[in-house]
Amino acid sequence: MHVVVTGGSGFLGAHLCEALLRRGDTVWCLDNFSTSSPENIAHLCGHPGFRPVRADVTAPFDVPAPVHVVAHLASPASPPDYDRLPLETLAVGSRGTENALRLALRHGARFLLASTSEVYGDPVIHPQPEEYWGNVNPIGPRSVYDEAKRYAEALSSAYRRSRALNVGIVRIFNTYGPRMRPYDGRVVSTFIRQALEGSPLTIYGDGSQTRSFCYVEDLIRGITAMADSGCDGPVNLGNPREHTVRELADLVLQATGSRSRIEYRPLPVDDPTHRQPVITRAREQLGWSPVVSIEEGLERTVAWFADQARQADRSGYRVRPALMEV
Ligand code: NAD
Ligand code: UDP
């Protein structure tokens, strides 16, 4: 198959490109590198099926080849990133999604939208099934991401209804693993970096808020299963094991053997109090469920971060001090 991956150089995009190439697909990787670096896909560049393209998908785009699937992942995804890029986040969720939908329509391709558990906002239903409509503050700082994704879901559903486009929507819950940026501001990457540096782990609020963390290999298996299916969705993809942020800090300290202390910081505005997916639909319609435990996933992620830090040290690059955090 020929697959277009928008946001293909990002954390999930690079893993998806890798998985698709491994099974023999030709992959068009479109990215403007606003929240990633070309280094993230450098290891794929010698592959005969890999076509990396610098492109901002908020402007119309095409690829000079047949297209069977468009996987639309382009969007800032970490809270500090979309806080820094509010208008860009709204643009890629709206215009970017429409351009990706039009590409799929022109080529008769399946369209896969990478939506998010953030469409549930600060949920009053727990755990969250796909039938839940969510509780989003439409004007708060997180709204640029949440509402852009909700609009992207509405737009994709309208293309399905009015243009008979083959659309599938996945709602991705917090995912972690190798290739996260150490300074992306997300909790797993931040705690691992801080633990490896020996600096304090920064817990926002009292650490009682929960998230359910999915290892990236599991998640990518879910995305490819959705791409290969004719399933409309939305389908939740995430690991149903729920942890408080405080528990996560302890797990990271165990996985790294670090003696870093915990430091408490103010909770960001509208930070969701809990998050846990119901994955019955993914199990029944895709035959998917995650298999990597958080202990195993953290061990693999820590090994990757430690290796990156060693390579950076050898090349003279020093991990930036905590003061420089975004
Ligand atoms: P990421 O920031 O690592 O990757 C996003 C990629 O999109 C980056 O490479 C960025 O440069 C690119 N991009 C942004 N705007 C663009 C534009 N206008 N044109 C072209 N490229 C653009 O984030 P990620 O974690 O890999 O997330 C990928 C997708 O999955 C996002 O749509 C995100 O909303 C969704 N998602 C991720 C998670 C998670 O836990 N990682 C959870 C829910 C949803
Ligand atoms: N968080 C934290 N310390 C950090 C970064 C994040 O305590 O250094 C918290 C954050 O407030 C949230 C949770 O960890 O409650 C998950 O944050 P992340 O940004 O990874 O994901 P999201 O909030 O988008 O689910």
Strands 235-237 and 201-204: unpaired
Model's pTM, two decimal places?
Answer: 0.96
62-85 residue pLDDT tens:
999 999 999 999 999 999 999 999
- Angle 15-21-22 from CA coordinates, rounded to 5°: 90
Looking at residue 325, what is its pLDDT?
21
Which residue has its alpha carbon closest to ligand 2 atom 3?
A: 203
Contact, 313 vs 192, CB < 8 A?
Answer: no
Q: How close is the Cα of 215 to the center of ligand 2, in Å?
A: 16
Nearest atom within ligand 2 for CA of residue 80 = 19
Is any ligand 1 atom within 6 A of the Cβ of residue 156? no
CA-closest candidate to residue 190, choices 238, 89, 200: 200
Which tokens hold the place of 154? 């509405």
CA-closest candidate to residue 279, choices 227, 240, 222, 243: 240
Q: Determine the 3-state secondary structure of 253 from DSSP.
A: helix
Q: Which ligand is closest to the CA of 270, given by its number?
A: 2
List, in order of start, the domains of the chain with CATH numbers. Answer: 2-176+213-240+274-291 (3.40.50.720)
150-190 residue pLDDT tens:
999 999 999 999 999 999 999 999 999 999 999 999 999 99
Q: How close is the Cα of 102 to the center of ligand 2, in Å?
A: 34
Cα 245 versus chain centre, distance: 18
Q: Determine the 3-state secondary structure of 146 from DSSP.
A: helix
Looking at residue 312, what is its pLDDT?
79
Compute the distance between CA of residue 85 and CA of residue 36 in angstroms, rounded to an integer. Answer: 13
Q: How close is the Cα of 286 to the center of ligand 1, in Å?
A: 23
